[in-house]
Copies of this chain bind each other. A is one copy, B any other.
Amino acid sequence: MRYEIPYNEIKTSISGKEFKKIAIQLPEGLKRYGKEIIQKLEKEVEKELILSGYPCYGACDTKDKELEKLGIDKIIHLGHFKIPFKQSIETEYFPIKSNLKIKNTLEKTLEFIDKNEIGLITTPQHIHKIDKIKEFFKNKGIEAKTSKGNKRITSEGLVLGCNFSAAKIKQKETLYIGSGEFHPLGVALSNKSKVIAANPETNQIKEIGYKNFIKKRYSIIGKIKDLNDFGILISTKKGQIRYNLAKKIRKIIEKANKTGDLIAIDDVLPNELINFGYEAYVNTSCPRLSIDDYNKFEMPIITPNEAKIAFGEKDYQKYEMDEF
């Protein structure tokens, strides 16, 4: 397995007498280990264990209210760091450590780094190596700086798809260790600076520019202006509820003499949006959906910030990623 599952910690956590039915939540990338995990735990713990089969896209994507219906009294959430909000069932988060060796990847980043100071950020699966990464760069004469971020961030140097606060260091260059382009793009937009993305899985290093991205989004914003009929998506995932923001966007849309209807949603499935038949959607739930998954949808799906720009409530030069 590419990951270290903290079996002992999980066992300690669920073996308390008070818990009877325990649900295990896994993000999509870890679901294939669910069978192995539950079967191993079942052998060692005398408890009723149940896998959560809901899609799970982050620490914000919990299903306490739903699992309550089955009498679940403890949730083990694997693969993410805790986001501080109340849940109706006691929930413990166990981030999962990647086993990948990253030294080669770090060596390769040296060609891309121009300064002797960089900002450093990474994702939950690599964060346990952050001190070693700093040491690696220190030995090369480069200071890798991290930041605590805001209260949604529980581990220094961590970035989430909706929160780049730990990247806001006054550095001209930032190094991102992890996969995908969404996080480093968010950082580049947030800092308006150079970001080097190093992917330890593929061993590829890439400089991430944000200017082409902004151009593309402006073309979408341009189309939006001429449409009349908007669905405004409000997530009911615990960590993504932004009802007031949705109502604010509705007011902006109505001020522009257009229609905006509120839609409560959990997973934003393309078919459901087609069924409703709105010309476009403003998405106040997970920002990644509007950006990374844009092409999955048949109609435009934009962020609240983009809606503000489209309807003149925000200066078009102040494009920013949707964060919360």
Contacts and interface: CB of A to CB of B under 8 A. Distances in A.
Interface in A167-215: none
A266 interface: yes
A68 interface: yes
A67 interface: yes
A22 to B, nearest CB: 11
A300 interface: no
A85 B55 CA distance: 27
A165 interface: no
A261 B31 contact: no
Interface residues of A, number: 50
A36 B124 CA distance: 44
Interface in A251-306: 259, 261-269, 272-273, 275-278
A49 B262 contact: yes
A323 B70 CA distance: 20
A51 B229 contact: no
B241 A70 contact: yes
B55 A276 contact: no
B70 A276 contact: no
